[in-house]
Structure 1
Amino acid sequence: MTNFSDADLAKVGTAEELDLRSERGDGTLRDPVTMWVVRSGDHVYVRSVKGTAGPWYRGTLSRHQGRIDAGGVQRQVTFRRADPGEYAAVDAAYREKYGRYTSIVEHVLTDLARESTLRLEPR
């Protein structure tokens, strides 16, 4: 596993949004999907409001890799399912970063959304 540099972690972690492009089975990239991104410790995470049934999330399952663009950082990444033990810290990161959007942030804090938590790892 490769880690983000401290500078890239800071940039991605403070970016308001992230563009995610997952790879299709043939290796081509899907259209970008804009979403919230959070940093917890030395990792960055995304979640699907629609859970594992969300279209963009299902797209990550083809090859478990793609490309992200956030805060001026563009990287090829691997999508790793987060361990349930990581959910509480990711919840806290979403509350801290996006808590000003009170009625919206709750949608990424549901059990449905938690099950779709992906850790983004540079490759």
Structure 2
Amino acid sequence: MAGWSTDELSVIDRTDELELRSMRADGSLRDPVTMWVVRHGDDLYVRPVKGRGGWYQGTRARHQGRIASGGVTNDVTFVDADGDPALNAALDQAYRSKYASYPDSIVGHVTNDQAHGATLKLQPR
């Protein structure tokens, strides 16, 4: 399976927000949800502010959806990426660095244990 192109990674990495639409069981797409996205190596990750509630539950039906960010639109598979302390630490640092202009109280919503437990890798398909 092909990964993200260098151009796609660069564009999304420079863009603060990403729109995510998860796929329902019937194959239709849910309404878009705007969120932060970070890059780690050649991969992209998102975390919900409220842990495993809200839009995260929508990713459970088919583990597929569509993202759009900075002019890049791609169909994706949502891959569970929780449970690795080293990855969580690296992603926490990526969020703190990319969103350093925001108060710690806001960035803290995606760098806590609840968010760690719902981390998703966005794999292009």
TM bucket, shorter chain? over 0.9
Q: 1:22 maps to which residue?
A: 22
Give deviations 1:41-69, integer Å, cap 9, x for gaps: 110000011101x2100000000000000
Q: Which contiguous aligned blocks of 4+ residues in structure 1 show a shift greater than 3 angstroms? A: none
Q: CA deviation at 1:13?
A: 1.4
Counterpart residue identity of residue 94, structure 1: Y
Counterpart residue identity of residue 7, structure 2: A
5+ residue gaps, structure 1, are none
Q: How does 1:1-123 map to 2 (within 5 A)?
A: 1-52=1-52, 54-85=53-84, 86-102=87-103, 103-123=105-125
Q: CA deviation at 1:83?
A: 4.2
Q: Report the TM-score, using the length of structure 2 for normalisation.
A: 0.94
Counterpart residue identity of residue 57, structure 1: Y
Q: Report the TM-score, using the length of structure 1 for normalisation.
A: 0.95
**Higher relative helix content:** 1
Q: What percent identity do the matched residue pairs reach?
A: 57
CA distance in 1, matches of 2:45, 2:83: 13
CA distance in 2, matches of 1:17, 1:84: 25
What is the aligned length? 122
5+ residue gaps, structure 2, are none
